[in-house]
Structure 1
Amino acid sequence: MIITEAQVERCEGGQAWVKIRPRSPCGNCDPKYGCKSVAITRLFGQGQESYPVQNQLGAKASDWVKVAVNDGVLLQSALWGYGLPLLLLLLGAALALLVAPAAWSELASLLGAALGFVIAFVVLRWRNAKMQAFQPRVVEIMSATSGSTMCAGRQ
């Protein structure tokens, strides 16, 4: 199981939105500002600041929690997220190329690739909604706050 620490920012339904605590896994990082590769990533990308996780333990806003995801989930997610779109994109282009007349081969190939990519997107969205085992979850409340309201549905 992969575990990290996070702080609950808000609660919605059975989910808690958490902000991951930055970590310094190696001795080469700046202890005050954290990992330089993370700083470079933030410079070039607009990454999400908070993430939804399952909250069966009833963590409240501003609690520090441990968030876990099952072993192998990151590898499987990467394979599904990169492999399926690439496979369906190439398969769509190849099938359209075989079916289309020679005069329309380039356009058919392009449209087949686009259709394959759209199908992959729909399949991945459906799979993401159905696969609870792949969802990160709160496994421990490290420090609870007093006076906060619990997540809706967990009172």
Structure 2
Amino acid sequence: MIDAPVRVVSAGNGRAQVEPTAQSGCGGCQSRSSCGVSGLGKYFSNNRKAIEVQCDANVRAGDELQLSMSEGDLLKAGLLAYLLPTVLALAGAGVAAAYGLGDVGAVLGAGIGIATGFLLGRLSGWTPQMYAQLKSDQSNEGETP
């Protein structure tokens, strides 16, 4: 699981609006800005707005939570956001070149391909599952009752 600390902006009905705290990324070192592991922390950069997540705990504004996402969901999101448009851009440029449309046609084909990739990603409706829990719950995870 990839974790990031967040602060509750508002909460109700099993959902919470959260925003990033000052720390982002994995917190393992000082090279978070160039680290590929801190994907969830990069999602919560300082210019992001609050997002709504599922939270079964009874929380209120100002509470600190730990937001978690599986590595598989992060990988799927990256593939959908980056790989699909890139592959379709290359395919569009390849099709245009195969039909002998020249450089302008290849650029237009790539543009159509990348736009189609972004549109398909948006229309898929898939979003990564993120879960929020109180930070104090984290300390009890490895213990048995």
Q: Same fold judged by TM-score > 0.5? A: yes
Q: Count the aligned residue pairs.
A: 122
SS in 2 for 1:115: helix
Does the 8 Å CA contact 1:68/1:137 hold for their aligned counterparts? yes
Which residue number corresponds to residue 47 of structure 2?
Answer: 48
- SS of the counterpart of 2:84? helix
Q: Distance in 2 between matches of 1:15 and 1:93?
A: 44
Matches within 5 A, 1:83-94: 83-94=83-94
Maintained 8 Å contact 1:53/1:136: no
Runs of 4+ in 1 over 6 A off after TM superposition: none
Gaps of 5+ in 1: 27-34, 39-45, 144-155
Tell me the distance in 1 between the aligned counterparts of 2:74 and 2:120. 18
Give the structure, 1 or 2, with the largest relative contact order (CA under 8 Å, sep 6 or more).
Answer: 1
Quick one: which amino acid aligns to residue 60 of structure 2?
Answer: K
Residues 107, 61 of structure 1: alpha-carbon distance in 2 compared, 3 angstrom cutoff: same
Q: Which has the larger radius of gyration?
A: 1
Worse-superposed segment, 109-118 or 52-61: 52-61
2:134 equivalent in structure 1: 141
Where 1:60 maps in the other structure, the secondary structure is coil
What's the secondary structure of 2:71's corresponding residue?
A: coil
- The equivalent residue for 2:42 is none
Identity of aligned residues (%): 21
Say what the alpha-carbon RMSD is for the aligned residues.
3.0
Instruction: Pick one of 82, 104, 108 that aligns with 2:105.
Output: 108
Q: CA 1:15 to 1:91, structure 2 compared with 1: closer, same or farther past 3 Å?
A: farther
Deviation string for 1:111-155 (max 9, x for gaps)? Answer: 11100010011112223xx224x13221x1347xxxxxxxxxxxx
Partner Cα distance (2:46, 2:107) in 1: 30
Deviation at 1:12, TM superposition (A): 8.9
| CA–CA separation in structure 2 for the residues paired with 1:25 and 1:119 | 38
Structure 2's unaligned 5+ residue stretches are 34-44, 137-145
Q: TM-score, normalised by structure 2?
A: 0.66
Hey, what does 1:131 align to over in structure 2? 126
